[in-house]
Amino acid sequence: MVYLAGAGAGDSGLLTLKAREVLERADVVIYDRLADDEILKFCPNAKKIYVGKEAGKHTLKQEEINRLLVDEARENKNVVRLKGGDPFVFGRGGEEAIYLRENNLPFEIIPGVTSAIAVPAYAGIPVTHRGVATSFAVVTGHEAPNKPESTINWTKLATAVDTLIFLMGIANLPQIVEKLIENGRAPETPAALIRWGTKNNQEVFVTTLAKAPDAKILPPAIFVVGEVVNLREQLKWFDTKILFGKKILVTRARAQASKLSSALKNLGAEVVECPTIKIVAPSDNYSAADAAIKNLRGFDWIIFTSANGVENFFKRLKVYGLDARALNKVAAIGSATAEKLLNFGIIVDVVPKDFVAESLAESLKDFVADKKILLARAEVAREVLPDALKSFGAEVTIAPIYKTAPEIPAQINFNSVDLITFTSSSTVENFVATYGVAPLKKILAAAIGPITAQTLKNFGVMPAVVAKEFTIGGLVDAIKNHYGK
């Protein structure tokens, strides 16, 4: 089966559920130049073939792309032909579908959100609006308006509809404007040029039809002509988000980065995931943890100091055929850890006011004398908590349930980064070990709490943002407050 699927206008969130579904089970993905490569994360195991076209540069001719689709499909594979926008809006999807039919191969069309509508919408410009515009036309701007046999009927097009949207027309913009005015469109008609629409670096130039060529804008951009452009001042929403235009680096482990990344993207930021750590098995391959699990009923309390610790601990419980019923009293260092425990059916007995080891120890002070305590934590951690518990008369067993290891470094261009986020001391230490301290001397840093902030200070870096609540939500709020000023 060959799926001719639209990838949407740019923002990866505009990908349809059906397109994501076929990408996830694709054997081969043949894709164009996409506005957001995040979409390719939905098909990590597929063979990927780039056939994109840029101005003046075609990776493959259309005939070669057609042949490639047939060759891959005949090997009994699920093939996804992924196109920007919609496959039937200047995407040559019809040609590819006809070629597949001629070769007796099955296909399905999966529409995409076209940039002709999505990009103006992200700029606060509706293509129709009651009392303003009741019709619109989508026109290719790729065709030279002055060629002898133009397929565009300029005489009728110029005044036939209320809103005109030209795609791929920046190179021909002066000629397009000339043709429209020549055929009756008023020179003072409102117009807008929108570059990198739906993306964090979106640019919107509001002008008039006659003055549009003076904007000197570079592609990729679309050109909108019509009275609806005047609605932008009332309807603009995307480029007013608090983090719009900010590029933020997330150093959290890859498996955990999505929550922070999603929150920042929802506030308008461009997010670059640059994990500096990964979560792996402890050096003793769980021998201490397994020994404790085999004697779990012998512990009065079990303490978790991170969501990672909870996740890995319950994986080991499952190995031994145990579940939440095997635990006695439970304490968690903070709300995120407590929330993770709730996912496993555990309502914690103690959560401190401040989400640090010192506060957790103080919260347990009156409950642990002569008690046996199991501390499930990272292999390398501060000794503040076990030392304090021992001073209160507790017998403490430390069970390393995971450790952090350096992640393979990514190639990062730090010149355009506005902020780097750190969610633990290990993310700071591994970042510095990989990239040095130089980027932190010129880029703002955000820390999830005072311990992480202190680690930054140890490297001579004063964080610009420190969360008051030591959670991902608290970190996002602190970043909002910083830029909200």
Q: Annotated catalytic sites, by residue?
A: 32, 53, 168
Tell me how far apart the alpha carbons of residues 30 and 47 are, in angstroms, rounded to a whole number. Answer: 8
Q: How far apart are CA 48 and CA 31, in angstroms?
A: 7
Q: Which stretch of DSSP H or E encloses residue 233?
A: helix 232-235
Where does residue 300 rank: exposed (0-12), middle (13-18), buried (19+ CB within 10 A)?
middle
d(Cα 341, Cα 73) in Å, to the nearest integer? Answer: 46
Tokens 């000629």: give the residue. 175
The pair phi, psi for residue 412, each rounded to 5°, is: -120, 135
SS3 for 323? coil
Rounded CA separation 141/171 (Å): 8
Cβ–Cβ < 8 Å for 269, 200: yes
Number of residues written out for the chain: 485
The DSSP result for 436-481, as a single string, is: -SHHHHHSEEEESSHHHHHHHHHTT---SEE-SSSSHHHHHHHHHH
Distance CA 9, CA 115 (A): 5
Phi, psi angle pair for 472, to nearest 5°: -60, -40
421 by DSSP, 3-state: which?
strand
Task: Please provide residue 224's backbone torsions phi and psi, each rounded to the nearest 5 degrees.
Answer: -115, 130
Instruction: From residue 86, give the alpha-carbon distance in Å to each of 54, 82, 123, 404, 479.
Output: 17, 9, 19, 43, 36
Tokens of 184: 């009756």
The answer, yes or no, to whether the previous bond of 439 is cis (omega within 30 of 0) is no
Q: How far is CA 21 from the centre of its chain?
A: 18
d(CA 193, CA 195) in angstroms, rounded, equals 7
* HEC readout, 35-81: CCHHHHHHCCCCEEEECCEECCEECCCHHHHHHHHHHHHCCCCCEEE
